[in-house]
Amino acid sequence: MKTVAENQLPQPTRRGFLKGAAAAAATLVAPGIFLYRTGQAATALNDQARWGLLIDTNALSEADVDACVDACRREHGWQVEQDSATDAQWVRKVKLTDQDTGHQKFLPMMCQHCESPPCVDVCPTGASFKRADGIVLVNKHTCIGCRYCMMACPYKARSFIHETLKDQLPVAPRGKGTVESCTLCVHRIDRDGANAMPACAEAVNQNGRKAILFGDLNDPRSEISLRLQALGGTRLRADMGLNPGVRYQGL
Amino acid sequence: MLTLASHLRLLLLLSLLGLVPAGLLGAAETASSSFGEIAVPNPAKPASAEQCVEPVEVMRRDHMKFLMHQRDATVIDGERESRYSLVGCMNCHNPANETGEIVRYEDPQHFCAECHTYASVKIDCFECHADRGLEQVQQSRIDSAVPAWDGGGASLSAGTLGHRLSLSQ
Amino acid sequence: MPAPIQYAEIKTSSSGYWSILIALALIALIGVAGAHHMDVEGHHVSGMNNQIVWGLPHVFAIFLIVAASGALNIASLASVFDKQAYKPLARFSAILSVALLVGGLAILLLDLGRPDRLIVAMTYYNFKSIFAWNIILYSGFIVIVLAYLWLMMERRMQRWSKPAGLIAFIWRLVLTTGTGSIFGFLVAREAYDTALLAPMFIIMSFAFGLAILILILMLSFSLDRRELDASHLLRLRKLLGIFIASVFYFVVVFHLTKLYGTQNHGFESFILMNGGIYTFLFWCVQIGLGNLLPLALIYAPSLQQSRKSLVIACALVIAGAFAQLYIIIVGGQAYPLNIFPGYIVESSFYDGVVNPYVPSLWELLLGFGGLTAALLIALLVLRVLPIMPTALRAESQ
């Protein structure tokens, strides 16, 4: 039974209207402030850059490559028992002997940080991903340990953690049941940008020489780009069209 | 039709409904105190810092929200200098037990384990992350005598276990 | 109008039913224990390592998944292709396929490095990954086939069983294509990277699934002393023969094509000539025991009525299946990647050498656990629901 007369519509007071308007405005603006704050915080990533390495195999002796592997090991906290098939190796020393000439060289082999990484394509959860600045990483929070990326990698760059770990270094969290590989020292890059130096490069670049050069491949005036223009650089398994970010000279 | 039976049913329903807000009020009354008679864990606070990055009540309830958001920000966006970084947490909340010995996260006297054993929530973080601050990690690594890298050496041609193939391409 | 088919549950009083069931359950439990041990200790207790990342559990799992898809063939022949002769076995075919798939999935999930992250696998999807698609395809298959089974069993809904059968048929073709493409899409390894693997897996599923189906059919009928006329077995026998011959054809084409390119000579000589265990498995088990001997047993004129020869042929096909999958999965990883053509490569990470693999007990337990779990599910359902026809009589009608 309706008893409210038609001319007795509720009359909003001025106070009520101002309150309502303020509340509506705040609701509209608040998410924007929150987003702005989050947007502000994530400034470490330079998505215009593409980080890469140029490795001059002619300038690297066996001891240099050992030092480079050792530096990565100490930076990230992994180690290898002798003849171990299950220990992780982020970077390894490779000895090449030419079949015809017998010429020998040593080089460090790590994740090539491809532009079209097969490991990223095959990961079912998207844990294996390529960052905006070209670094290929494993997001171990979402890695389920299926090892499909290890099957897919053309360079055998990835390792699986086969046992419980403890005392992980804070810059390199790593744990049983997930997959990992060279991160291009992403923690250093996030801190220092283009002035960063991955641990492997730092180990061999003494006395002004740059046997392992790190830099921005997208910047035509960076040292790495200039050297690539002048002297060229080989991509491993170039026929696969993956365009790796790690290039080698002397191969 | 309104009978005595239907009246009684209505009364029963209303009283049951009434119990709910009464119970909530009662819980709210005691929430500010220590949950009545139930003991809540009170892990040891670090001596170094005055306060955590957020007030205790906020942290108790929302620390996982901060961590879940921060982990994506760090891994995907490269943001590392954040107030919510896990490394920051562990540098302060060093998990010493009563005798001052640094414990592992499975030990119930670990800072995180104190509340997590109470709440019966498994901690996944320390499968990958160090469960202690950087200084203590480095000390533990020295104490456990992590072997040095020998440069490959004898294990360089690990193919002694398999057989060598020459790839004639 | 032929008499309507009668279905009935297998009776538990039938001889040996309980002992088989208990044995299967025990092995399945031990398998779960083995998986738990691998999960707690980490995969270093298994034979798998950074070189051979998928091993014996995956051989078992892929076998079960491929056989699951093939086991549905009989139901598809009845519903989709209107071959009435297969209609009595349609329900059994559906149940067996679901049971085998569940067993295979269980092995895969328990072998993950982080099986506790299954919920992550179900909620974070990278749709470029065939693995992600397979998760959807496998779970969808179970739902669709169970719906199809119900439509077949519910008398009022039987007219819907034909469209359901078509959906199930297409779904399983996509599923098996997806399974083959797990390997076919891998550009990195010489053993894979071929479009041929997808249809090859489909034809393998036909053979493997039918072999298991025949074995379980004969076992359950003999357990319950139901009549199984020779004419039905003859039909299934001929079908199996065609499927085995087709698998053989695909294997021949696969290797001939790879042999033609000089760049693949290293890999082909590894499999065909100097790969040690892989060469033995290829010629003796996969081709000899798995293809040629079963074909001889199936088509030998004097053995056409022999049930024993059919049972042996099915068992040999399954043995050949394991060998084939072992060569594909493990052999494909054992052969080294060709990163530096023209060089001899040595490193501490097993570059340039054939990767050794010795399966551990835990992997064997996990694999058998999944297999027995699948059979257990099938036998339990046969007991509880009217899946099996009461008799398969000679067709004189």
Q: Indicate which CATH number applies to the domain containing A58.
A: 3.30.70.20
Residues of C in contact with A159 (CB under 8 A): 50
> A-contacting residues of B 51-110, CB under 8 Å?
71-73, 75-82, 87, 90, 104
Domain shared by A115 and A139, yes or no: yes
pLDDT of residue A17: 75
Fill in the DSSP letter of residue B99: T
Answer yes or no: do C351 and A86 touch at CB < 8 A: no
Beta-ladder partners of C389: C7
Distances (CA, A) of B62 to A95, B84, C256, C323: 52, 11, 62, 53
CA B125 to chain centre: 7
User: Model confidence at B96, in pLDDT bands (50, 70, 90)?
Assistant: confident
* Residue A222, in any domain of the structure: yes
Report d(CA B107, CA B149) in Å as an integer.
Answer: 31
pLDDT score for B37: 54
**Residue in chain B lying closest to C354 (CA):** B162
Look at chain A and report how many structural domains it folds into: 2
| Residue that wins the pLDDT comparison between A40 and C169 | C169
User: B32 in contact with C at a CB cutoff of 8 Å?
Assistant: no
Q: In chain A, how long is the greatest CA-to-CA distance?
A: 106
Q: DSSP string spanning C322-386? A: HHHHHIIIIIHHHSPP--STTEEEEETT-TTBPPP----HHHHHHHHHHHHHHHHHHHHHHHHS-
Among A88-97, A102-111, B52-61, C338-347, the minimum mean pLDDT is found in B52-61
- In this predicted structure, the answer to whether residue C16 has a pLDDT above a threshold of 80 is yes
pLDDT of residue C124: 93
Q: Are residue A222 and residue A240 in the same domain, yes or no?
A: yes
Residue A26: inside a domain: yes
Residues C260/C263/C266/C270 CA torsion (nearest 10 deg): -50
Segment C27-36 shows an average pLDDT of 96
Determine the pLDDT at residue B159: 34
The 10 Å CB-count burial string (b at 16+, else e) for A113-137 is bbbebbbbbbbbbbbbbbbebbbbb
In this structure, are A134 and A20 located in the same domain?
no
Q: Which of A39-48, B136-145, C178-187 has the highest mean pLDDT?
A: C178-187
Residue C360: both structure tokens together: 């551990």
- CA–CA min distance B29, chain A (Å): 30
In CATH terms, the superfamily for domain C7-246+357-389 is Formate dehydrogenase/DMSO reductase domain (1.20.1630.10)
Same domain, A19 and A127: no
Best CA proximity match to C8, nearest among C213, C145, C161, C153: C153
Three-state SS string across C207-260, please? HHHHHHHHHHHHHHHHHCCCCECHHHHHHHHHHHHHHHHHHHHHHHHHHHHHHH
The encoded tokens of residue A117 equal 């990484």
Encode pLDDT of A119-171 as tens digits. Answer: 999 999 999 999 999 999 999 999 999 999 999 999 999 999 999 998 899 89
For residue A1, tell me if it sits in a domain.
Answer: no
In a domain, A5, yes or no: no
A198 is a domain residue: yes
Whole domain around residue A16: which residue ranges? Answer: 12-43
Phi, psi of B156 (to 5 degrees): -60, -50
Hey, is A129 helix, strand or coil?
A: strand
- Is the residue at A3 inside a domain? no
Q: What is the mean pLDDT of residues B11-24?
A: 76
Q: Do A36 and A100 reside in the same domain of the chain?
A: no
Question: Does residue A243 share a domain with residue A157?
Answer: yes
Question: Could you tell me if A23 and A75 lie in one domain?
Answer: no
Cα–Cα distance, C94 to C79 (Å, whole number)? 11
Is A106 near chain B, with CB under 8 Å?
no
C267-307: per-residue pLDDT in tens?
A: 999 999 999 999 999 999 999 999 999 999 999 999 999 99
Residues of C in contact with A177 (CB under 8 A): 39, 42-43, 112-114
Do residues A176 and A144 lie in contact, with contact meaning Cβ atoms separated by under 8 Å? no
**Which pLDDT score is estimated for B10?**
86
Neighbours of C387 (CB within 10 A): 25
Q: What is the CA radius of gyration of chain A?
A: 26
Q: Which two tokens stand for residue B151?
A: 């440069």
Residue B92 region by backbone torsions, left for phi larger than 0, else alpha for psi between -120 and 50, else beta? alpha
Put simply, whether B135 touches A (Cβ < 8 Å) is no
Contact status, residue A232 vs residue A37, Cβ threshold 8 Å: no
- Cβ within 8 Å, pair B82-A41: yes
Q: How confident is the model at residue B150 (pLDDT cuts 50, 70, 90)?
A: very low
What are the b/e assignments for B92-105, b being 16+ CB within 10 Å? ebbbbeeeeebbeb
DSSP string covering B58-86, please?
A: HHHHHHHHHHHHHHHHHHHH---S-TT-H
Query: How confident is the model over C162-172, as a mean pLDDT?
Result: 96
Note whether residue A141 is domain-resident: yes
Which residue type does B2 have? L
Structure tokens at A22: 């303020």
Same domain, A37 and A64: no
**Which chain B residue shows the shortest CA-CA distance from A95?**
B156
Asked if B137 reaches chain A (Cβ–Cβ under 8 Å), the answer is yes
A174 & A209 share domain: yes
